[in-house]
A and B are shown apart, each in its own frame.
Chain A
Amino acid sequence: MPVLDLWSMAFVFLLATFVGFQVIQNVSRLLHTPLMSLTNAISAIAVVGSIIIAGEQKSTFSLILGTVAVAASVTNIVSGFLITDRMLKMFRERKPRS
């Protein structure tokens, strides 16, 4: 791998971490549970690696591991986004009472 690729990945990691710190520090404490389920769904981006392993079919062994990894990641994507939305729907402001 060209050395520059390595460094550009390190830059991406550094910048994404700083962006993450900034953005997440602004998340209201009220929403920390939905935050965790949302980041959980987002980190299921591991599905990208899993799809490649399952789809390139280089050996039976890697096909099995890849398929299980895709299933595990999709479980997180589906349940993570759905439950986050379900929780967020419940947060409402005080309504003027009649």
Chain B
Amino acid sequence: MSLAEHLTQASYLGAAALFILSLRWLSDPKTARRGVLAGVGGMALAMIGTLLHPEIVNYTWIVVAIVVGTMIGIPLSKVPLTAVPQRTALSHAFGGLAAGLVGTAKYFLWLHDGELTTFRMGAIGIEVILGYLTFTGSLMAAGKLQEIIPTRPMTYRGQNVVNLGLLAVAAGAALLLLFRPDIWQLFPVIIVLSLAFGVLMIMPIGGADMPTVISLLNAYAGLAAVAMGFALENKVLITAGALDGSSGLILSIIMCRAMNRSFTNVLFGAFGQVQATAAGAEAKSVKSGTPRDAADLLENAARVVIVPGYGMAVAQAQHRVREIYDQLTKRGIDVKFAIHPVAGRMPGHMNVLLAEAEVPYDALIEMDEINRDLPQTDVVLVVGANDVVNPAARHDTGSPIYGMPIIDADRAKFVIANKRSMNPGFAGIENELYSADNTLMLFGDAKAVLGEVVKALAGDATH
């Protein structure tokens, strides 16, 4: 082994250590930014080590690609925080694409040089299938999150059979290549089928399932990198890919549990279809109030819990919510935020939006903990959340969300629920919380209506 090779391997070892430390430091908001630095250091080390590789003879195109990537990457990092789910999905797509392209290039190079061993072929097969399906699947997810593509689940008869059939054919073709790697015509077939499967896999997924799906795509992108590592015999690829894969898997499991659903149910269940028929029940009478009424209720409370949901993100109302928080805490009222794990469109979505609005993170409380406090809470303010506060999940065995853990908003003395209109939420499920005796509905755009509430509260403070 030459000195350069030793240096390369040593840099990979250092990079792997830094990646682990990076995630380790992310466990606490106090050390988290150090984690980013460690990640950057690890990546720089791995890239420098690779550039020392003796096989690399020309740097021109590498430099061009690095410049282009940087030019796309910088604006992508400056998107508004409400667009973070789309950006994340888009970067999963890029990750999948890179894995797919490297696998494709390596297949043809090794086939030409006669170095395509069975082991390499197997690793490439997995890498390419995962890579390309992650590519198109993540593009679809990004399109749905950006609402370029309809967010409602798109379903048709026999959908699951068609999807699984496509995947089975792709896997079968890859299996055949293990024994006959020279039938190169099979390779484009695998690529096309994987690309198509990615699109079809996301079609029946609705917006409410996005947190799970985006986590799953995260895991796929990581596993594609692992497969690339096996093909290229590169241990830093295996390590970093495995870290990403396990992270995506853990997040998917947390999301599934928070919805009381299984992986197969999320991927093949087409959430939202059943409900469309189950919904149509007669409209119950609701009490509608003015921002003035809401302000009165809030300022006479001792304990207030705010439950944010995707509606807050859509209306960009997080700053108004923070102003309400300020007005109330100024009066000595105890205000906390109840964060449901699947509120929003990706794991942790609400936390980031509220942090952007400068809500201190120790006021953001997880579901299980806040549920203990809710019976002693005077007012719950629901902002654009729906299914995660629907009491039907606790008692209505016929409800599609039965069994899903919820925030027990209905157990507080009063509930103020902000909503654009009485249209049922994303899943199309009627929410009995809105027609409860102790609930006051506050109709209108969250940003505008909560702005009125803030005005009413501020006016009272000066009198």
Contact = CB atoms under 8 A, between A and B. Distances in A.
Contacts of A71: 65-66, 68-69, 72
Nearest to A40: B91
B283 interface: no
Contacts of B40: 81
B74 A78 contact: yes
B225 A46 contact: yes
B26 A65 contact: no
Interface in A12-58: 12-13, 16-17, 19-21, 23-58
Interface stretch (B168-176, B215-223, B425-433): B215-223
A43 B247 CA distance: 11
Contact of B22 (A38, A48, A58): A38
Interface string B352-383: 10011010111110100000000000000000
Contacts of B358: 90, 92
Interface in A44-98: 44-59, 61-63, 65-95, 97
A53 B112 CA distance: 15
Contacts of B347: 29, 32-33, 35-36
Interface in B38-82: 39-40, 42-43, 46-47, 50-51, 53, 55-59, 61-62, 64-66, 68-70, 72-74, 76-79, 81
Given A34-B352, A77-B43, A40 B364 contact: no
A16 B23 contact: no
Interface string B98-140: 1101101110110010000101100000000000000000000
Interface in B229-276: 229-230, 232-248, 250-251, 254
A75 B76 CA distance: 8
Contacts of B105: 53, 61-62, 65-66, 69
A82 B46 CA distance: 18
At the interface, is chain B mostly helix, strand, loop or mixed?
A: helix
Contacts of B349: 33
B28 interface: yes
A11 B346 CA distance: 32
Contact of B98 (A37, A69, A97): A69
Q: How large is the interface on A (under 10, 10 to 19, 20 to 34, 35 or more residues)?
A: 35 or more
Q: How large is the interface on B (under 10, 10 to 19, 20 to 34, 35 or more residues)?
A: 35 or more
B23 to A, nearest CB: 5
B362 A45 contact: no
Contacts of B435: none
Contacts of B254: 29, 32
A50 B102 contact: yes
B165 interface: no
A57 B230 CA distance: 22
A38 B74 contact: no
B43 A66 contact: no
A72 B94 contact: yes
B124 to A, nearest CB: 11
A43 B348 CA distance: 20
A82 B56 contact: no
Given A20-B245, A27-B26, A51-B56, A42 B42 contact: yes
Contact of A28 (B29, B99, B356): B29
Contacts of B97: 68-69, 72
Contacts of B56: 51-52, 55-56
Given A27-B27, A41-B43, A81-B36, A58 B109 contact: yes
Interface of A: 1, 5-6, 8-9, 12-13, 16-17, 19-21, 23-59, 61-63, 65-95, 97
Given A42-B19, A55-B59, A78-B72, 18 more contacts: A19-B20, A20-B247, A23-B243, A26-B27, A29-B351, A32-B346, A42-B22, A47-B47, A50-B65, A51-B56, A59-B112, A62-B108, A73-B69, A78-B69, A78-B76, A82-B78, A84-B39, A97-B330
